[in-house]
């Protein structure tokens, strides 16, 4: 377009109109939420600039101190009520679950089409009765009988991890424990959920598998944050335009994340397709329907093209599932979407928790001594689920305190399905409600000296009795809390015990002085991993 005075004036007038509309919108929504205090929103962007500048969990903690446990903000045009009080969170997440049934999630694939249909089919963004069907289909994976069967799977993966750490332990060369733990948890997930050896634990120094690299790229979230910010400032009708714009702005990082997403989707799709093929060959009638949903090029080969999941894996469970209301089965697209969720969320959160735990234990020698004493009393046996509560209360407290200080998910949320009173204030229909998990975990009203790493706070009966039961929320709460929390807890505790049976870990000098930079995407993690020196134990 030719740059003329008329065009410049036209652009200026259009921008001014957008600003005016934005100001009017925020004034209207602030009036609807007038019972809630909160920071003043900027035109168009709302409170996104401050959230980006401070990171969301720090901004929420600061605003909670300034405005109290209930306040409102704007993510662009989207009104959000933030709850930083466990009783208010309980009211929304449990007592009034029907009015706040669905999650508040930013547009995942605003460009629409097959990619949006696939992205919206996972259990995290699922809504209404569809969510109920998914949860029922996936729940057997996390029954106690299933968890007990995962003991040898977890210990086998840890055998490989311990063997991989022998070389850096002998040489004294630092190793990134976050990377090593991510490989281990991905192996556990593949075998436990799908009966597939993902072969992600290559030796230290060798290149990560494509699946591990793709998963790590998805969790960087830089491009996704840019896209979310753009979408939340635009009317829904302009989302395709915003998607095109962010694709151009995202550049190489955007292309990398899109390709990483396709790698994970292709893995899930291949596993589903191969399970369906086996069922057909064996004459099994399955409820799952096929549909045209793939948006990527299937012509090139990939690592899991011919890999067959185990019988009665989570894929088989979902292929047999039926909607409780309609009686219809899930589609291949829906099954693959939930395989995706398991692959991504099922390994990264546990790896982050273990990484933060090793970091905190290494900075607190007194905690390390108590942890080692408890582990040594058990001996060199491989622990299982039935051993954890009986023999390792301190190890459990160490992991809980780590999750309190550094929850893998710093916030989660719901959407108001109707006008609802919460804490004596009206939350209008359509408002997002965020649970400020990090803020609650660092509130001295529930956690005296919250900046101090003190596992004993989870062992003192009087202290536990006086604490609100929902002041600890690493997995959320209510019907929509993390479906795999028991498996994640089991894996983290077994891994911590096995690692400290053989080694202790020493931080690099800079990590002893200051906390390494954090990365906040879908989850909370160290931005550049956690380099440590692995030291063999002389017992």
Least Cα distance to 213 among 284, 278, 302, 132 occurs for 302
Q: Is the pLDDT of residue 470 over 80?
A: yes
- Per-residue pLDDT, averaged over 397-411, amounts to 96
Q: Is the pLDDT of residue 246 over 90?
A: no
Q: Is the pLDDT of residue 3 over 60?
A: no
- At 222, the pLDDT band (50, 70, 90 cuts) reads low
Q: Is the pLDDT of residue 62 over 90?
A: yes
Alpha-carbon distances of 18 from 26, 78, 140, 486, 507, rounded to whole Å: 12, 16, 50, 48, 51
- The pLDDT value recorded for residue 523 is 87
Residues 137, 335: Cα–Cα separation, whole Å: 10
- At 12, the pLDDT band (50, 70, 90 cuts) reads low
CB atoms within 10 A of CB 536: 12
- Per-residue pLDDT, averaged over 372-388, amounts to 97
Q: Is the pLDDT of residue 5 over 80?
A: no
Least confident of 193-207, 244-258, 297-311, 385-399: 244-258
- The pLDDT value recorded for residue 455 is 98
- Per-residue pLDDT, averaged over 376-380, amounts to 96
Contact predicate 110/116, CB 8 Å: yes
Q: Identify which has the larger pLDDT, 223 or 145.
A: 145
List, as own/partner pairs, every contact residues 141-148 make where C-beta atoms lie below 8 angstroms and the sequence separation is at least 24, other chains included: 141/192, 141/193, 141/314, 141/317, 141/484, 141/487, 142/483, 142/484, 142/486, 142/487, 144/385, 147/385, 147/486, 147/487, 147/490, 148/384, 148/385, 148/386
Sign of the alpha-carbon torsion through 508, 514, 519, 520: positive
Q: What is the mean pLDDT of the chain?
A: 88
Contact predicate 121/338, CB 8 Å: yes
Least confident of 230-234, 261-265, 291-295, 393-397: 230-234
Decide: pTM greater than 0.85. yes
Q: Is the pLDDT of residue 537 over 90?
A: yes
- Per-residue pLDDT, averaged over 222-233, amounts to 67
Is 339 one of the annotated binding-site residues?
no
- The pLDDT value recorded for residue 111 is 60
Q: Kindly report, residue by residue over 26-53, the tens digit of the pLDDT.
A: 666 667 888 899 999 888 788 999 988 8
With a pLDDT cut of 90, the percent of the chain lying above it is 61
- The pLDDT value recorded for residue 26 is 61
- Per-residue pLDDT, averaged over 83-103, amounts to 96
Q: Identify which has the larger pLDDT, 397 or 331.
A: 397
- The pLDDT value recorded for residue 174 is 96
Q: Kindly report, residue by residue over 111-138, the tens digit of the pLDDT.
A: 667 888 888 889 988 998 889 999 999 9
- The pLDDT value recorded for residue 106 is 72
Q: Does domain 5-536 have CATH number 1.10.630.10?
A: yes
Contact predicate 265/297, CB 8 Å: no
Q: Is the pLDDT of residue 479 over 60?
A: yes
- Per-residue pLDDT, averaged over 353-368, amounts to 98
Domain ranges, ordered by start, for the chain: 5-536
Q: Is the pLDDT of residue 410 over 70?
A: yes
- At 282, the pLDDT band (50, 70, 90 cuts) reads confident
Q: Is the pLDDT of residue 252 over 80?
A: no
Q: Is the pLDDT of residue 1 over 50?
A: no
Q: Is the pLDDT of residue 434 over 60?
A: yes
Contact predicate 12/6, CB 8 Å: no
Phi first, then psi: give them for residue 47, nearest 5 degrees.
Answer: -105, 15
- At 367, the pLDDT band (50, 70, 90 cuts) reads very high
Least Cα distance to 364 among 506, 517, 480 occurs for 506
Residues 226, 521: Cα–Cα separation, whole Å: 11
- Per-residue pLDDT, averaged over 424-444, amounts to 96
Burial 444-483 (b: 16+ CB within 10 A, else e): eebbeebeebbbebbeeeeeeeebeebbbbbbbbbebebb
Q: Is the pLDDT of residue 250 over 80?
A: no
Q: Identify which has the larger pLDDT, 92 or 247.
A: 92
């Amino acid at each position: 377009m030719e740059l003329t005075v008329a065009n410049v004036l036209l652009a200026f007038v259009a921008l001014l109109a957008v600003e005016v509309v934005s100001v009017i919108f925020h004034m209207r929504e602030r009036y609807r939420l007038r019972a809630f205090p909160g920071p003043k929103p900027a035109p168009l962007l709302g409170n996104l600039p401050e959230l980006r500048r401070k990171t969301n969990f720090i901004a929420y903690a600061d605003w909670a101190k300034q405005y109290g446990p209930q306040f409102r903000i704007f993510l662009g045009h989207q009104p959000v009520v933030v709850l930083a009080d466990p009783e208010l969170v309980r009211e929304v997440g449990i007592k009034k679950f029907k009015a706040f049934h669905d999650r508040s999630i930013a547009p995942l694939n605003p460009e629409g089409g097959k990619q949006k249909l696939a992205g919206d089919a996972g259990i995290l963004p699922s809504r209404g009765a569809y969510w109920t069907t998914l949860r029922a289909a996936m729940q057997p994976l996390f029954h106690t009988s299933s968890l007990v069967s995962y003991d040898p799977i977890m210990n086998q993966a840890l055998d490989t991890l311990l063997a991989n750490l022998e070389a850096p332990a002998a040489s004294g060369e630092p190793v990134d424990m976050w990377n090593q733990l991510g490989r281990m948890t991905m192996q556990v997930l593949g075998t436990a959920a799908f009966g597939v050896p993902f072969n992600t634990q290559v030796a230290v120094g060798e290149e990560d598998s494509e699946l591990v690299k793709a998963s790590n790229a998805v969790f960087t979230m830089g491009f996704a944050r840019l896209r979310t910010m753009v979408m939340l400032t635009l009317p829904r009708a302009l989302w395709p335009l915003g998607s095109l714009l962010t694709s151009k702005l995202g550049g190489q990082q955007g292309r990398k994340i899109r390709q990483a997403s396709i790698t994970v989707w292709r893995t899930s799709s291949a596993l589903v397709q191969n399970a369906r093929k086996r069922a057909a060959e064996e004459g099994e009638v399955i409820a799952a329907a096929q549909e045209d949903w793939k948006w990527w090029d299937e012509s090139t080969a990939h690592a899991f093209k011919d890999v067959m999941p185990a019988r009665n894996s989570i894929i088989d469970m979902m292929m047999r599932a039926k909607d409780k209301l309609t009686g219809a089965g899930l589609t291949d697209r829906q099954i693959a979407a939930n395989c995706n969720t398991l692959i991504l969320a099922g390994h990264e959160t546990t790896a982050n928790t273990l990484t933060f735990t090793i970091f905190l234990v290494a900075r607190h020698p007194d905690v390390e001594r108590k942890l080692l004493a408890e582990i040594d009393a058990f001996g060199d046996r491989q622990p299982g689920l039935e051993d954890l509560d009986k023999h390792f209360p301190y190890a459990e407290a160490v992991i809980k305190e780590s999750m309190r200080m550094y929850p893998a998910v710093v916030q989660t949320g719901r959407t108001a399905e109707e006008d609802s009173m919460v804490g004596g204030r009206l939350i209008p229909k359509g408002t997002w409600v965020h649970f400020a998990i990090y803020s609650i975990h660092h509130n001295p009203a529930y956690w005296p000296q919250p900046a101090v790493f003190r596992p004993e706070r989870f062992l003192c009966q009087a202290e536990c009795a006086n604490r609100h039961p929902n002041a600890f929320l690493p997995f959320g709460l209510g019907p929509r809390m993390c479906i795999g929390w028991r498996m994640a807890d089991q894996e983290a505790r077994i891994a911590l015990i096995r690692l400290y049976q053989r080694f202790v870990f020493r931080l690099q000098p800079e990590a002893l002085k200051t906390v390494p930079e954090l990365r906040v995407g879908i989850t909370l993690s160290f931005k550049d991993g956690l380099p440590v020196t692995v030291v063999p134990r002389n017992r």
